[in-house]
Amino acid sequence: MSSNPKLIRNVVLLGHSHSGKTSMIEAMLYEAKAISRRGTVEAGNTVSDFTEIEQERSASLFSKLMHVSWKDSKINIIDTPGSDDFVGEILSSMKVADTGIMILNGAHGVEVGTEIIWEYKEKLGLPGMFVINQCDHEKCDFDTTLEQAKNRFGPKLIPFQYPLNPGKSFNAIIDALRMVMYEYSPEGGKPTKKEIPDSEKARANAMHNAIVEAAAENDDTLMEHFFESGTLDESELADGLRKGIANQSLFPVFCASSYKNMGTGRIMGFINDICPSPAERPSAKTKTGTLDVNAAGPTTIFIYKTFSEPKVGRVSYFKVFSGKVKTGDELINNHNRVHERLNQIYVSNGKSREQVQELVAGDLGVLVKMKDSHTNNTLSIKGHEIEIDPIHFPEPRIRTAISTENKNDLEKLIKAIHDLQEEDPTLILEQSQRLHQNLLHGQGQMHLDLVKYRIEKLHGVHMDFIKPKIPYLETINKLAETSYRHKKQSGGSGQFAEVHMRVEPWNEGMPEPAGLNVRSKEVEELPWGGKLAFYWCIVGGSIDTKFSSAIKKGVMNKMIEGPLTGSYCTNIRVSIFDGKMHPVDSNDMAFQIAGMQAFREAFHVAAPQIMEPIYDLEILCNDDVMGDIMGDLQTRRAIIMGMDSDGHYQMIKARVPLSEMHNYSSTLRSLTQGKAKFSMKMSDYAAVPPDAQQKLIHEYKEHSKDSEE
């Protein structure tokens, strides 16, 4: 293991599903002699995709850490899922990487998943390079894919290579950086270096000049030399490229066939020679300042991922941001002040782990059986209370309600979900008192399906997904007055209360109640939004003022469980203007009941209205699926707000009721073969259409009858 941060490279492979990231890593490990034979995704025997569910689905669902030795360096390689359903895995990997390698499928071009990942990469300021993969595919179109990438990601993309004959007979790469042709045998592996054919020299020379010019732009001295001589020597070129990649003024583009292991070794060499080390990256942000990657600094590690493995327990993946971490060190978790002793430190190649005695600043490692340390926690030596700026995860996009066949298993299920939440901060469990449901929020249907699989597999608890209830609101549209008398006599003291009430819609700045003498008023912010304005307009003492609070409590009880569907009521003004009381039988409970019933009856004749949550929906898709998406949205009562171009994609913007979005993630995936993405954000509430309102009221009545029976 390297003891010098300058000899460490941390790279993360990024890209849309099926771009070939896992196969690329398999080829990298093979080229570095870390494995003796290459596995395949189809055979389910790759180093990276080692979990049972990944092998079943032939796709990466978790990030994985591998490492190789290359010349004098250690290269840590992180594989990531291609679906942004697993954005937590992608973002945590980017957090600790120093170069992002964007893998493009040469047969499919720039795909929507790549677009989204690029945006995350840009926000994090992560240097990058591109590899146009699958040059051996019969439909590979390198030039079109390169042009798409330049159009979408900008002119900083500089091609360093191109395939001589992409397609099934692909076997040669023109390298414009080294001005050589690499020719491969049908088995791939180490190529033969040859001169560039005369027919390709003009294109290769033009590409080489563009590379030299891009390198020179990163240093005034280099630029001056470039203007004088028209070129740069090898060391100057390397220095300029190193600076350009580090400050993200250029993004090299390579080509490869990871499946045939063609081009991988050259990419590994470039990573080693040119890509930035942790020591060449900006200081890490902390909550109070910055922290340099320095082997002589205070020992500080950051846990970027946790994962529960059968028979092992919690596995913690970390980066050493400062100092050296050694077996036996005792560090303090600066989040919860827990002391953690590091009994064993490992480096990782998929599920295989090798114990080491120490790791230096910039390196990545693994710990097992940490007591109480989780993702996003910083641990450091005593006296250096440093907290690395945490990974900022996106808000969930979909939700589902969960249940168990056996109610006794519910407690076990909740605990299992809490355990998974410690690993996956993008997963949120909401125990909703409002809806009387346990709601699971995630990034997409694949994300939630994986959670279900893991809970049933690891914890032995069966979990069902059921349709979540909608947080409707109830309100009124007109003024109504009613009275209610509560009278109960059952021997001894009885109960008596009579309340005369006016209800009307409340809005900011409305005039005081017409024809009433307002004695006092309370305008209360409701926890679920909107307001209750409660006016006391009793003249002459027909009801004692001391019963005001009881009447208001009765009203509030019915507002918590609304008259139409049991949903919260909002934005209503209630005025108590008359009533009766009894010197013996009137008490708080009697007036509470009378207030609740008077409100219920008045509500029903005040043009009641159910309000539903409306979400702003954005969908990123290709032109050819827009018609299908728009047609589906029309069936969901959506209002199309506009369409914009975003690169060579289309952005559909719409307003849609939350009640119509159940299972939308799966529907969109089906409509577009997984080549569209969406995001939702709560906007406001709007009136439910009359026919839908009647249906909701009927369903609530039927449900209430069933509950009573």
Does residue 49 sit in the same domain as residue 111? Answer: yes
In this prediction, residue 227 carries a pLDDT of 67
In order of 177, 215, 218, 233, 236, the CA distances from 222 in angstroms are 17, 8, 8, 10, 7
Dihedral, 475, 477, 479, 484 alpha carbons, nearest 10: -40
In this prediction, residue 568 carries a pLDDT of 96
Q: Dump the DSSP string for 166-224.
A: -STT--EEEETTTTEEEE--TT-SSPEEEPPPHHHHHHHHHHHHHHHHHHHTT-HHHHH
| CA angle at 123 for the pair 7 and 90, rounded to the nearest 5° | 65
Region of 291 on the Ramachandran plot (φ > 0 left; ψ -120 to 50 alpha; else beta): beta
**In the predicted model, what is the mean pLDDT of the chain?**
92
Residue 570 lies in a domain: yes
Angle between helices 220-229 and 198-216 (to 10 degrees): 140
Contact between residue 8 and residue 277 where contact means Cβ atoms under 8 Å apart: yes
The enclosing domain of 497 has a CATH number of 3.30.230.10
Give tens-digit pLDDT for 107-117: 999 988 888 89
Residue 407 lies in a domain: yes
Contact between residue 333 and residue 342 where contact means Cβ atoms under 8 Å apart: no
Strand partners, 621: 650
Does residue 565 sit in the same domain as residue 658? Answer: no
Residue 540's pLDDT band (boundaries 50, 70, 90)?
Answer: confident
Give the C-alpha separation, 672 to 652, whole Å. 14
Contact between residue 480 and residue 559 where contact means Cβ atoms under 8 Å apart: no
Give the C-alpha separation, 108 to 140, whole Å. 8
Strand duo 608-621 + 649-657: pairing:
antiparallel
- Token digits for 389? 């700026």
Residue 347 lies in a domain: yes
- Token digits for 115? 């677009």
The enclosing domain of 626 has a CATH number of 3.30.70.240
Sheet containing strand 495-505, edge to edge, reads 480-488, 495-505, 572-580, 531-536, 520-525
Instruction: Please say which residue of 444, 466, 488 terminates a domain.
Output: 466
User: CA end-to-end span of the chain, whole Å?
Assistant: 70
| CA angle at 82 for the pair 76 and 83, rounded to the nearest 5° | 135
- Token digits for 278? 């942790």
Given a cut of 90, whether residue 564 has pLDDT beyond it is: yes
Residue 95 lies in a domain: yes
Does residue 308 sit in the same domain as residue 269? Answer: no
Task: Tell me what percent of the residues of the chain surpass a pLDDT of 90.
Answer: 77
Find the DSSP H helices in 294-357: none
Residue 621 lies in a domain: yes
Q: How many other β-carbons are positioned within 10 Å of the β-carbon of residue 28?
A: 27
Given a cut of 90, whether residue 1 has pLDDT beyond it is: no
Given a cut of 90, whether residue 221 has pLDDT beyond it is: no
Q: Which residue is listed with tokens 């569910």?
A: 53
The enclosing domain of 352 has a CATH number of 2.40.30.10
Residue 208 lies in a domain: no
The enclosing domain of 456 has a CATH number of 3.30.70.870
In this prediction, residue 660 carries a pLDDT of 95
In this prediction, residue 226 carries a pLDDT of 64
Residues spanned by the domain of 668? 610-691
Angle between helices 234-246 and 220-229 (to 10 degrees): 140
In this prediction, residue 528 carries a pLDDT of 93
Does residue 495 sit in the same domain as residue 585? Answer: yes
Question: Residue 150 belongs to what H/E stretch?
Answer: helix 142-153
Indicate the residue type of 445: Q
- Token digits for 61? 């669902």
Angle between helices 445-458 and 410-423 (to 10 degrees): 120
In this prediction, residue 251 carries a pLDDT of 97
Give tens-digit pLDDT for 665-674: 889 989 988 7
Give the C-alpha separation, 163 to 146, whole Å. 12
Does residue 15 sit in the same domain as residue 76? Answer: yes
In order of 21, 125, 230, the CA distances from 603 in angstroms are 60, 56, 84
Give tens-digit pLDDT for 113-172: 888 899 899 999 999 999 999 999 999 999 999 999 999 899 999 999 999 999 999 999
Residue 205 lies in a domain: no
Give the C-alpha separation, 626 to 649, whole Å. 10
Contact between residue 620 and residue 654 where contact means Cβ atoms under 8 Å apart: no
Per DSSP, 587 falls in state -
Among candidates 550, 664, 554, 544, which has minimal Cα distance to 598? 554
In this prediction, residue 651 carries a pLDDT of 92
Burial 310-326 (b: 16+ CB within 10 A, else e): eeeebbbbbbbbbbbbe
Does residue 24 sit in the same domain as residue 132? Answer: yes
Give the C-alpha separation, 374 to 371, whole Å. 9
Does residue 312 sit in the same domain as residue 178? Answer: no
Does residue 430 sit in the same domain as residue 484? Answer: no
Residue 227 lies in a domain: no
Secondary structure (3-state) at 55? helix
Secondary structure (3-state) at 78? strand
Instruction: Please say which residue of 429, 446, 466 terminates a domain.
Output: 466
- Token digits for 49? 């995709």
Residue 217's pLDDT band (boundaries 50, 70, 90)?
Answer: confident
Given a cut of 60, whether residue 709 has pLDDT beyond it is: no
Contact between residue 20 and residue 105 where contact means Cβ atoms under 8 Å apart: yes
Give tens-digit pLDDT for 265-284: 999 999 999 999 999 999 99
Contact between residue 539 and residue 499 where contact means Cβ atoms under 8 Å apart: no
Does residue 647 sit in the same domain as residue 536? Answer: no
In order of 88, 259, 335, 699, the CA distances from 344 in angstroms are 26, 36, 22, 59
Cβ within 8 Å of residue 554, ≥6 positions away: 591, 592, 593, 594, 595, 596, 597, 599
Instruction: Please say which residue of 352, 380, 408 terminates a domain.
Output: 380
In this prediction, residue 489 carries a pLDDT of 77
Among candidates 359, 391, 376, which has minimal Cα distance to 8? 359
Does residue 560 sit in the same domain as residue 452? Answer: no
Number of helical (H) and strand (E) elements in the chain, helices listed first: 16, 38
Does residue 147 sit in the same domain as residue 257? Answer: yes
Q: Quote the number of domains for the chain.
A: 5
Contact between residue 530 and residue 613 where contact means Cβ atoms under 8 Å apart: no
Does residue 407 sit in the same domain as residue 485? Answer: no
Q: Which residue is listed with tokens 């139409």?
A: 564
Give tens-digit pLDDT for 368-408: 989 899 999 999 999 888 999 999 999 998 999 999 988 88
